[in-house]
Amino acid sequence: MKKVLIAVFIASLSLAHLSNVNANPAQKAAIAGELAEHPRIATAVADLEDAIAYMENAPHDFGGHKAAAIAACHKAINQLRKAMAYRAKKDANQ
């Protein structure tokens, strides 16, 4: 039960960050539902968003890798959300 509550909480946090996704509200809700079904992916998205915020606020450039690392994190988040959108679409069509 505890794991389910944690997954739902993480998914709700991820739903708040879905504003960057090009989807209507129903699609965003479906993606959030998929994130609840896949808590490791939801955690990865939250961790990547946290890493981005940390790097953006860091006073140094991580040896010249800061911008590329931030861009890679954004790309990873985008791909994870697309994966969840795909699962949501597949589940809706079953």
Q: State the average pLDDT over residues 10-33.
A: 67
Phi and psi at residue 64, to the nearest 5°: 90, 5
What tens digit of pLDDT does each residue of 35-74 get? 888 999 999 999 999 999 999 999 999 999 999 999 999 9
CA 5 to each of CA 41, 62, 77: distance values in angstroms, whole numbers, following the listed order: 15, 36, 22
Confidence at residue 12, expressed as pLDDT on a 0 to 100 scale: 52
What tens digit of pLDDT does each residue of 71-91 get? 999 999 999 989 988 888 877
CA 25 to each of CA 4, 16, 70, 72: distance values in angstroms, whole numbers, following the listed order: 23, 11, 27, 26
| Per-residue pLDDT band at 4 (split at 50, 70, 90) | very low
Number of residues assigned to the chain: 94
Q: Where are the domains of the chain?
A: 2-92
pTM of the model: 0.71
Distance of CA 44 to the CA centre of its chain: 7
